[in-house]
Amino acid sequence: MSETTVKRGRRLSVKQITLMGMMAAVICVLAPFSVPIGPVPISLTNLAIYFALYLLGMVQGTVSYVIYLLIGLIGIPVFSGFTSGPEKLFGPTGGYLIGFIPMAVIAGYLIDRHRSNRMICLGGMFLGTVVCYGFGTLWLTRQSGLDLRASLFAGVIPFIPGDLIKMLLAMAFGPQIRRRLKKVSGN
């Protein structure tokens, strides 16, 4: 009874469930720390997601992020600036929070299949981030009344250099942490 069924009849071990919970906790710890620079703050959410993808893979890494979203949705202050609740998730920056889901799927898919090709992994994180920017910018435009150009300058342009650094950090340290974790756990 220590296993849970997931798609295609595969089962998750207690260890896998624990790791997903731990990565959700890591996201909960890192994401609230943010720098408010306008309507969209700089946070470490995407860095934590990239690490979850390297350590757990696309499906389990994405599930870890969705667990984080649900924790914030029910009122535990884990979103940027130690906020929470539906008003945050459906407010002006909610599109970025939702956009992290397809970002995780896209980046995770390419990381899972091309782990040894760092440029493809970086490309996957970049492409996933562009999709997240798209979700977030369109939602910000709709919710805030800003025009598209103003939304891009509020929610995308200032974030590009920092997000590239986060991708490089994840690419440099994610595989090392994964190898060490596997070595310690005997897998």
pLDDT mean values, one per 10 residues, the chain (187 residues):
50 90 96 91 95 96 98 96 94 96 98 94 97 97 95 96 97 92 76
CATH assignment at residue 77: 1.10.1760.20
Decide if 49 is inside a domain: yes
pLDDT at 160: 96
pLDDT at 38: 86
Decide if 182 is inside a domain: no
Decide if 91 is inside a domain: yes
Decide if 80 is inside a domain: yes
User: Letter for the amino acid at 97?
Assistant: L
Query: What's the total number of domains in the chain?
Result: 1
pTM, rounded to two decimals: 0.90
Decide if 185 is inside a domain: no
pLDDT at 1: 40
Distance CA(161)–CA(97), nearest Å, equals 19
Decide if 6 is inside a domain: no
Decide if 127 is inside a domain: yes
Extract the tokens encoding 112: 């899972």
What's the distance, Cα to Cα, between the start and end of the chain in Å? 22
Range of the domain at 130: 14-177
What is the full DSSP assignment across 43-101?
ESHHHHHHHHHHHH-HHHHHHHHHHHHHHHHTT-S-BGGGB-SHHHHTSTTHHHHHHHH
